Structures are given as structure tokens and as C-alpha cells.
Structure 1
Amino acid sequence: MNTSELRQKDAAGLTAEIKDLQKAHFNLRMQKATQQLNNTAQLRQTRRAIARAKTILNEQAAKKA
């Protein structure tokens, strides 16, 4: 999901997106630990997606305050 799609979501939508990304990241970490993960770059992509969503959520909160 790119930034323009994330910016269109409200705070509840962003929170749900962060939660889903964190679950996905956890599952990828477990796959890596059991040596079932083929594409380790997915870990980096999900970690950065989480950071991107959190940044946009914080920007929206700062704009309201």
C-alpha cells in the first residue's frame, strides 16, 4: 500500500492497517525462524510499511492538535 492510499484513510483505518501489518510481520518472522521463508526481503518491506503507516497516523494526529 502506497502513501497516497494510506493518507486517504482515517485514524481507525490506519490503526487497523498497522495491526494487520504487524501480524503479517510476525508471521514472516516465524517463517524465517523455521527456515520456511524464501524471500527475506519481505521482512524489510513489512517493517517499512508499518513505519510508513505510523508516520502518517502521527502526522494526522499532529494536524488535529
Structure 2
Amino acid sequence: MNAHELRDKTPDELRDTLVQLKKEAFNLRFQSATGQMENTSRIRQVRRDVARIMTILNEKAAAAASTAEA
């Protein structure tokens, strides 16, 4: 998932994706703890995707706030 694709989504779609990624991260932590991980790099990908979505949500909120003030 790249930032360009995410910026085209609405904030509600981003929040839904964020919830899904957080659930996946939770499951991956359990797999890691029990030694059932198949793709160890997936944890890093999910964490970065979560950060990327949160950054874009914050950018959209700041843009909305600045247009509301003007």
C-alpha cells in the first residue's frame, strides 16, 4: 500500500483499513509469540502501513481544520 493510493480514499475508508491492519498486527504478534510465523517481514509492513494511514488521516484532519478556520 503506498501513500498515493491511500490519499485517494475517504477518511472512513482509511479508518476501516486501519482497524483491519491493527487486527492483523495483533494476530501476527500472537503468531510470533507461538512460533507460527511464516512471513516475519509482514509485521514490519503492517506497522508501517498503520503509521502511513495515521499520518494521512492527520493530514486530512489538519487540512479540514485549516479550511474551516478560513
By the TM > 0.5 criterion, same fold? yes
1:16 aligns with 2:16: yes
> 4+ runs of 1 displaced by more than 4 Å?
none
1:40 aligns with 2:32: no
Corresponding residue for residue 64 of structure 1: 64
**RMSD of equivalent CA atoms:** 0.7
Separation in structure 1 between the aligned mates of residue 30 and residue 5 of structure 2, nearest angstrom: 28
SS of alignment partner, residue 4 of structure 1: helix
The structure that has the greater radius of gyration is 2
If the length of structure 1 is used for normalisation, what is the TM-score? 0.94
Separation in structure 2 between the aligned mates of residue 21 and residue 10 of structure 1, nearest angstrom: 17
What is the letter of the counterpart of residue 52 of structure 1? R
Q: Give the aligned length.
A: 65
- Give the percent of matched residue pairs that are identical in Structure 1 and Structure 2: 51
User: Which stretches in structure 2 are left out of the alignment for 5+ residues?
Assistant: 66-70
What is the letter of the counterpart of residue 44 of structure 2? R
